[in-house]
Structure 1
């Protein structure tokens, strides 16, 4: 009973946040406030997954949109666009990307992590590509306005249709160059609303954006994010590609134990032959010696 009530409270608070936040709010740590209108609470916490339908799905989409994670249309169906948007949100919040909205994801929706820049000198208008987490973030006015899941270079050699090379998305500082609207077809496949930033490497929409690096070097984004990114990225805008190291959890260093000083044992006194000292006295001395060793 207590677990069900706790789940209902979390889900209900998310619904309240989703229905009261203004559109366009950048991704930031948002604390729940009693000023939010209370939405109807579900009977129990619901795990949402691809194919789920209902008001919960609709409110999750609104919440993600307001946090800068564009889920496509605000329908009542958990579709493929929401699936990849949830991946992006989970990765940005330190969660493993899964095909469902479970309790950790509900909790992250309630208290999301703040998006932090990959570079400190990037400027207010820029795009950052995180190769490790496979996330692309567009910054405008110093705020993250669009965060999306991506698939980048597979980092392997390939030979396709007589064209050979090494599939990689190089780390570096670049600038937006040519922009090609609509579908375009090259030697290695089709691209949707391409934005070139490093020679023949572009950010473009694709029908295949898996959870692992799979491209020939380009940055694939879900189709529903291709047009918004195309409109946001203008010629000359900086693009920063990084592969951040995994931050190890910092644990307090263990203090070395102080070495205890063990008193040296005194050797038992030799028996005295003088009158008044008998063997019991020598036995007592041995006992004292053993005591000092403890």
Structure 2
């Protein structure tokens, strides 16, 4: 359970890592990163998403939902690298050499209208398609709609993968792709989204 600690939690963390769900360090503490990893597993497996490792989650660790990279439909080499944003399941998947390396919980645009301070009414859409990381900020970018932590921009409308202290189970952004701040630090540290990286965004936004 969230807040717990001990060898049972460490075993859960190891199994999540074996399933390619990014959980940070195996430290035996059921904190925010473990909760985020469990949420990603729940989403992939079609379970209710609450971040709690109950019996259904333990069972899903033995037979998780399929995560198949989308290289072919994006015109990419089957054995290549890319980042896949699955809007339908609200997951971000890092693909290396054609195989899943890490799966992160994410939160994309709500598809709802919002008021932009300079552009007026806009729709909080995360556009689908094949893009590339074109610029990045190794720090906090102070945008008109709020700060973006270490963003990797892949769309001319200012859409980026970025860190956030809030990555809920449902779409909640103005269009960007949120991951936890710690996950974003790992993406930078491990070179998972260098400039020029292909980004593939698929699926429809689920209703909240």
* Fold equivalence (TM over 0.5): yes
Aligned twin of 1:203: 161
Given that residues 45 and 65 in structure 2 are in contact (C-alpha distance below 8 angstroms), is that contact kept between their aligned partners in structure 1? yes
Taking structure 2 as the reference length, the TM-score comes to 0.88
Deviations 1:128-147 (A, max 9, x none): 11111100101111111111
Aligned twin of 1:82: 34
Give unpaired runs (5+ residues) of structure 1. 1-48, 247-294
Confirm or deny that 1:228 pairs with 2:182.
no
Q: Structure 1 runs of 4+ off > 6 angstroms?
A: none
Aligned twin of 2:57: 105
Aligned length: 198
Aligned twin of 1:56: 8
Write the mapping of 1:1-294 to structure 2, written as runs, cut at 5 A. Answer: 49-120=1-72, 121-123=75-77, 124-164=80-120, 165-199=122-156, 200-230=158-188, 231-243=191-203
Larger Rg: 1
Question: How many Å separate the matches in 1 of 2:160 and 2:140?
Answer: 13
Taking structure 1 as the reference length, the TM-score comes to 0.63
Give the number of the structure whose residues are more often strand, by fraction.
Answer: 2
- Note the aligned Cα RMSD (angstroms): 1.9
SS at match of 1:85: helix
Give unpaired runs (5+ residues) of structure 2. none
Once the 2 structures are TM-superposed, how far is the Cα of residue 205 of structure 1 from its aligned partner?
A: 0.3
Once the 2 structures are TM-superposed, how far is the Cα of residue 197 of structure 1 from its aligned partner?
A: 0.5
